[in-house]
Amino acid sequence: MLAQTAIQSGSFRQTSGRSLRTETPVRPHLCGSTIELLGAPMSFGRNAEIYGENEPADYLYKVVSGTVRTYKILSDGRRQIGAFYLPGDIFGLEVEDEHAFSAEAITDVRVLVIKRSAVMALAARDHDIARQLWTLTGRELHRVQDHILLLIKTAQERVAGFLLEMADRVSGGNAVELPMSRQDIADYLGLTIETVSRTLTQLENAAAISVPSSRHIVLRNRAALTRMNA
Amino acid sequence: MLAQTAIQSGSFRQTSGRSLRTETPVRPHLCGSTIELLGAPMSFGRNAEIYGENEPADYLYKVVSGTVRTYKILSDGRRQIGAFYLPGDIFGLEVEDEHAFSAEAITDVRVLVIKRSAVMALAARDHDIARQLWTLTGRELHRVQDHILLLIKTAQERVAGFLLEMADRVSGGNAVELPMSRQDIADYLGLTIETVSRTLTQLENAAAISVPSSRHIVLRNRAALTRMNA
DNA sequence: CGACCATTTGATATGGATCAAGCGATGTGG
DNA sequence: CCACATCGCTTGATCCATATCAAATGGTCG
């Protein structure tokens, strides 16, 4: 049998009070700018569910602050995390009418909630919007394809790859502030917490990283990490 | 270290003579009908490369007969098969400008080759076409997401899941004619040939399937297979 | 301070990989 | 038509990476 995931039974308080204060305009990514205008700001507390698997996908979301995880639970309790979404990322966009994964706030999270029907209406008239939707789905596809490649690698390769990915995305140079727990990382990488922890220790001993505190990791030797990323 | 994939060194003759004979009209799936009109029939011999990873994605393809695999090779030679494409399936459709995977004919294959620029031009004027492209990408995304779930399961679950999937797709009732080798299956499931072979034997001993010949498998107990699919 | 998590570390078990034969099929040349 | 290579697959023996089980450590909050 494989990893039995302990679903954290944290506080599931949902501070869903739709705050009315104006959001600071987020840099107009390739995605967005127009789409964002449709968004209503909303907040979720740590571990709050944003939507569940198989629920109607009436909304999509853009992360303003905080981190979101999407995941599926297998019948026997194993959890697979599909992705982590950081500020600027869009999630919950579906082509079909239901969400394929569940989504939860990892930290306190602020998002823009965007009505799908509104976007679709826009897309029906504006080709550029339609193109953006397709591009977003395509980008997601690429991400998932890369994730598959991760899952056939050794533990060391997975962890090294994960750190490099996170370093690129949070762009704090070589210092990475991890918003997610070891359990989250493990469920993303298809490993156990123990293996993730041990692998980090190995990488530290190999002088590839340092771990001043468990959520704070410094890449000391990117070349080495890249090399073992295979 | 993980599985070292022996890339079969088969005959790579490429019977790419663009046959001019009219194709029998394929049932107008959700995808296609209009798109297909743009297609030029083309054939590839067993193991012929259809396109390579990172090549410009100037064409997409619809399988008329035979089976296609897409794959990536990791630096150390490990191969991951991304998907198998059967008659009726469309592959090689990219949102970006390059192919993310390589594609090869598993058997002798006939495809319709469709110029991407032509489809894009159509899509620019016809919303329905644009919608179809998006839908195709979305469907592919779902497929890859399911593939991820496969990869975190036990060998038995992976093989059972694979058999059920194939049975659904080739729709020969409970009799499945596998077009691909054990190595292909292994590289799709993230296992070794030996493990795939042993697992099939187990399933046979458990009376879940029978294997009259190595490429021909009969599902004897779908319920059992579904149950162990987790 | 003490309870509670999250994380690390240690000891052991095990599923699947690896290494190595054996076994049919299929095909080829004598 | 048969001996014999070749290829794809199966089976067996052993090994090892990662899971599992268990305990210690450390940070956080009341």
**Which chain A residues touch B228 with a CB distance below 8 Å?**
none
Q: B136-146 pLDDT, tens per residue?
A: 999 999 999 99
* CA dist., res. B41 & res. B59, Å (int): 12
Task: Give dist(CA A91, CA A114) in Å, integer.
Answer: 10
Using alpha carbons, list the distances in angstroms from residue A83 to A55, A64, A95.
18, 16, 17
Q: B148 touching A, CB under 8 A?
A: yes
> Measured from the CB, is A161 under 7 Å from any atom of strand D?
no
Q: What pLDDT sits at residue A217? A: 97
Predicted local confidence at residue A9, as pLDDT: 33
Query: B151 vs A190: CB contact, 8 Å cut-off?
Result: yes
Amino acid A22: pLDDT: 36
Per-residue model confidence (pLDDT) at position A194: 98
Which of residues B13 and A224 earns the better pLDDT score? A224
Give the C-alpha separation, A121 to A129, whole Å.
Answer: 10
Q: Are B109 and B65 in contact (CB under 8 A)?
A: yes
Interval A47-87: pLDDT, tens: 999 999 999 999 999 999 999 999 999 998 999 999 999 99
pLDDT of residue A32: 54
Asked if A95 has any chain B CB less than 8 Å from its own CB, the reply is yes
E strand residue ranges, A3-142: 40-44, 49-51, 59-65, 68-73, 79-85, 90-91, 102-105, 109-115
Residues of A in contact with B150 (CB under 8 A): none
pLDDT of residue B37: 75
What is the C-alpha to C-alpha distance for residues B209 and B201, in angstroms, rounded to an integer? 9
Tell me the percentage of chain B whose pLDDT exceeds 70: 86
Q: Find and give the residue nearest to C19, measured CA to C1'.
A: B194
Amino acid at A56: P
Rounded Cα distance, B72 and B79, in Å: 6
Look at residue B172 in the predicted model and tell me its pLDDT. Answer: 81
Q: CA B109, B113, B115: angle at the middle one, nearest 5?
A: 160
Comparing B91 with A14, which gets the higher pLDDT? Answer: B91
Pick from B65, B71, B20: nearest CA to B49 = B71
Beta bridge partners, B176, equal B217
Which pLDDT does position A26 carry in this prediction? Answer: 37
pLDDT on residue B30: 40
Split at pLDDT 50, 70, 90, the class of B32 is low
Residue A103 contacts residue A50 (beta carbons within 8 Å): yes
pLDDT band, very low/low/confident/very high, at B131 (cuts 50, 70, 90) = very high
Enumerate the β-bridge partners of residue B62: B90, B112
The answer to whether B78 CB is within 7 Å of strand D is: no
Q: Is residue B34 scored above 80 in pLDDT?
A: no
Look at B11-20, B46-55, B119-128 and tell me which has the smallest mean pLDDT: B11-20
Over residues B175-203, mean pLDDT:
98
Find and list the nucleotides of strand D having atoms within 7 Å of a protein beta carbon: 7-13, 17-22, 27
Structure tokens of A83? 């992705």
pLDDT for B33 equals: 63
| Chain A touched by B77 (CB under 8 Å) | no
**Cβ–Cβ of B148/A80 closer than 8 Å?**
yes
Q: Hey, which bits of A66-180 come out as E strands?
A: 68-73, 79-85, 90-91, 102-105, 109-115, 175-177
**What's the confidence (pLDDT) of residue A230?**
82
Which pair of structure tokens corresponds to residue A55?
Answer: 């629920």
Average pLDDT in the B76-96 region?
97
Q: Do A230 and B151 touch (CB under 8 A)?
A: no
pTM, 2 dp: 0.88
Is the CB of B230 inside 8 Å of chain A's CB atoms? Answer: yes
Does residue B216 or residue A31 have the better pLDDT?
B216
CB atoms within 10 A of CB A106: 22
Q: Low-confidence residues of chain A, pLDDT below 50?
A: 1-30
On chain C, which bases lie within 7 A of the protein's CB atoms? 5-11, 15-20
